[in-house]
Amino acid sequence: MRPITFALASLALASSVAAERGSDGHVSIIYWQAPSILNPYLSGGTKDIESSSLILEPLARHDEMGNLVPWLAAEIPTVKNGGVAADLTSITWKLRDDILWSDGSPLTAEDVVFTADYCMNPDGGCAQLADFDNIVAVDALDGSTVRITFDGPKPYPYAALVGATTPILQKNQFENCVGAKAPECTAENFGPIGTGPFRVTDFRPNDVISLEANPNYRDPTKPAFATVTFKGGGDAASAARAVLETGEFDYAWNLQLAPDVLANMEAAGKGAVVSAFGTLVERLMVNLTDPDPDLGDMRSTRDHPHPFLSDIAVRQALSMAIERDLLVEIGYGKAGQPTCNVVPAPAVFASSANDGCLVQDIEAAKKLLDDAGWAMGADGVRAKDGVRLSILYQTSTNAVRQDFQALIKQWWAEIGVETELRNLSASVFFGGDPGSPDTYQKFYADIEMYANNFEGADPEAYLGNWRCGLDPRPDTQWQGPNVPRYCSEAYDALLSEMSQTGDIDERARLGKAMNDMLMQDFVMIPLVHRGRVSAHADSLGGVKLNTWDSELWNVADWHRVK
């Protein structure tokens, strides 16, 4: 054991001593969605957050295992080390003392305070505002200490200024860009000064970013690359091709392609496909309310329960008829795992109580429907009291999702459920336009399919989505996260309990209990725990795919393999 460790350590030492900033020349990255802006506070898009993570850094972030690691902070504040107040109402961050901005000036607590105020400004339209929920004040205690005070106990205080979504901006640069002026600062938003390994030399919105190594980066041997090209645009297939087949690029992001297509490209031998799992789950949402067009304004609201999906037997039968292994094989390959939970990770929160769904059981599903009184009709569709099991099943347009729709339609046909498929343009489906009938929130369908996840490693806010009263309805302009229109007093009680609980084991127990409740009520039918798939050239070393933070989180360690 020891010799191996020693060998590894000396190897690491050797490489870090030998390396010199910029000695590995140029690296090129392709994202098939092009970044529009380099200020993550003004755009919540993944492409924008990840590209700006080359330049901007947060106080702390999650590593590839999901553990919190200090980044610009000297250590992670906890109750134990006194960083988090015993009553959980404040957290105090201590900055590292060796951090310089790329213009040579030192990072101070003022910058951190400014960043928080910048986002919390009511006129700024900050996209990351939810991370700053419950914050009452952010104060600089001295030049390198910042205290964040909450309006009550905050059992999980690591949302604000942690992770790639909320990095630290330089006060000096953004001082005149606060509030309503935020969008006018084009030069600042396109070329933020950061503490990260690279700085921008040219930014072409929605096209390409050119960067060079930050001369003031804290580690004099890093980054290994002198320049970076970050290209955006096209589609996943062509990005994969550019890395795996033609070798024009070194790294390609989020390659959601059919597994055999990807495997075939990888076989060209120029690069490797890497994958890692976060909390993203592709699921079916069940509409517990009636989407009948004749109801007019009352369509898909809690006033009218669904004619047959309000019967739990039907919902359960729909879930039992699905063979999740096959869905994974067809759609995701290595980048997917069949799942029966809506909270599939981190490990402490992952329940095993619902794993029965992993096995498809058409016969049991039929029996369940028979017992519930849904009798098979002459047309092969079950019915009870004149209500036919006929489902409108919608999702966004995407090759894998359409394959899933076709497969699931056939399985449901086998148990006597008729399905009409509908696919919608993603910009309409995921848009919140209350004038459109086709948004996922309006849910003018019986079943819909999409993927969702939560940020960071704590699911409390995520589980809070299914609280009573958060259902989209006309008087909320059809906004609201409770898409299935679920409401259970027992569930809400567990949520309240969780918001008062700081102990991680106890939180895990509550989280699992809520997950199990949702699963055993079949208001959501999870299908696939989806991973992130990216690809890098064989000559690119140091890639550690991280689904808990930006994929480019450790770009300072990337290097050329010789």
Partner 1 sequence: MTEAVEFTAPPSSQWNDVWHQFKSHRGALVGCLFFVFILLTVAFGPMVWSIDPQYIDIRARNSGMSIAHPLGTDQLGRDTLARVIAGGRTSVAVGVTAMLLSVLLGTFVGVLAGFFPKFDGPLMRFTDLFLALPLLPLLLVMIMLFRDVLRSVLGPESGVFILIVCVIGITSWMQAARIVRGDVLSIKEREFVLASRSVGTPPVRLVIRHILPNILSPIMVSATLGIANAIITESALSFLGLGFPSDFPTWGRLLYDSTDYLQQYPERVLWPGLAISLTVLSVNYMGDGLRDALDPRIRGR
Partner 2 sequence: MLQYTIRRTLFAIPTLLLISLVIFLLLDLAPGDPTAQLPLTIPPDVKEKIRVSLGLGEPIHIRYLLWLNQFFVNEPLHILSELTAMDLSGDRQRVISWQTRSPVVDIIVQRLPQTLWVVGLSYVVGVAIALPIGIISAYRQYSWFDQIGTFVSMVGFSVPTFFTGVLLIVVFSVQLNWLPSIYDTTLVVEDWNSFVRQVKQMIMPVMVLALYNAAQISRFMRASMLDNLNQEYVRTARAKGLRERVVILLHVLRNSLIPVVTVIALGIPAVFAGAIITEQVFKVNGLGQLLIISIEATDLPMVQTLTFIFAVLIVAFNLVADILYGILDPRIRYD
Could you tell me if 93 and 59 are in contact, meaning their C-beta atoms sit under 8 angstroms apart?
yes
* Contact set for partner 2, span 268-307 (CB under 8 A): 268
Residues near 421 by Cβ (< 8 Å), separated by ≥ 6?
393, 394, 402, 405, 406, 409
Residue of 88, 178, 226, 261 that binds partner 1 (CB under 8 A): 261
Assess 186 for contact with partner 1 (CB under 8 A).
no
Residue 423: name its binding partner from partner 1, partner 2, none (Cβ under 5 to 8 Å by kind): partner 1
Residue 34: name its binding partner from partner 1, partner 2, none (Cβ under 5 to 8 Å by kind): partner 2
| Choices 209-217, 378-386, 435-443, 453-461 (CB under 8 A): range interacting with partner 1 | 435-443
* Contact set for partner 1, span 384-403 (CB under 8 A): 397, 399, 402-403
Residue of 166, 189, 339, 351 that binds partner 2 (CB under 8 A): 189
Assess 36 for contact with partner 2 (CB under 8 A).
yes
* Residues binding partner 2: number (CB under 8 A): 73
Could you tell me if 115 and 58 are in contact, meaning their C-beta atoms sit under 8 angstroms apart?
no
Cα-Cα-Cα-Cα dihedral of 455, 458, 463, 464, to 10°? -90
* Contact set for partner 1, span 200-259 (CB under 8 A): 237, 257-258
Distances (CA, A) of 452 to 104, 431, 463, 469: 40, 15, 12, 20
- The phi and psi torsions of 430 (rounded to 5 degrees) equal -90, 0
Task: In angstroms, give the least distance from the CB of 394 to partner 1.
Answer: 8
Residue of 206, 425, 476, 500 that binds partner 1 (CB under 8 A): 425
Residue ranges of alpha helices (H) inside 245-398 are 259-266, 312-320, 324-331, 362-371
What DSSP designation does 73 have? B
CB atoms closer than 10 angstroms to residue 124: 20
* Contact set for partner 2, span 411-470 (CB under 8 A): 426-433, 435-439, 441, 450, 452-455, 462
CB atoms closer than 10 angstroms to residue 551: 25
| Choices 48-56, 156-164, 427-435, 455-463 (CB under 8 A): range interacting with partner 1 | 427-435
Cα(542)–Cα(562) distance, rounded to whole angstroms? 12
Residues near 138 by Cβ (< 8 Å), separated by ≥ 6?
112, 113, 116, 117, 146, 147, 148, 149
Selection from 351, 285, 176, 188 nearest residue 523 by Cα: 285
Cα(84)–Cα(202) distance, rounded to whole angstroms? 41
Residue 261: name its binding partner from partner 2, partner 1, none (Cβ under 5 to 8 Å by kind): partner 1
Sketch the per residue contact string, 225 through 254, with partner 2: x for CB under 8 A, - otherwise.
----x-xxxxx-xx--xx--xx-xx-----
Q: Where are the beta strands (DSSP E) in 143-270?
A: 145-150, 198-204, 208-213, 227-232, 251-252
Sketch the per residue contact string, 273 through 312, with partner 1: x for CB under 8 A, - otherwise.
--------------------x-------------------
* Contact set for partner 1, span 320-359 (CB under 8 A): 326, 330
Residue 227: name its binding partner from partner 2, partner 1, none (Cβ under 5 to 8 Å by kind): none
Question: Pairing state of beta strands 390-396 and 447-452?
Answer: parallel
* Contact set for partner 2, span 166-185 (CB under 8 A): 180, 182-185
Residue of 218, 367, 384, 409 that binds partner 1 (CB under 8 A): 409
Task: In angstroms, give the least distance from the CB of 261 to partner 1.
Answer: 5
Q: Which stretches of the chain bind partner 1, using CB under 8 A?
A: 237, 257-258, 260-261, 264, 293, 326, 330, 397, 399, 402-403, 405-407, 409-410, 420-425, 428-429, 435-438
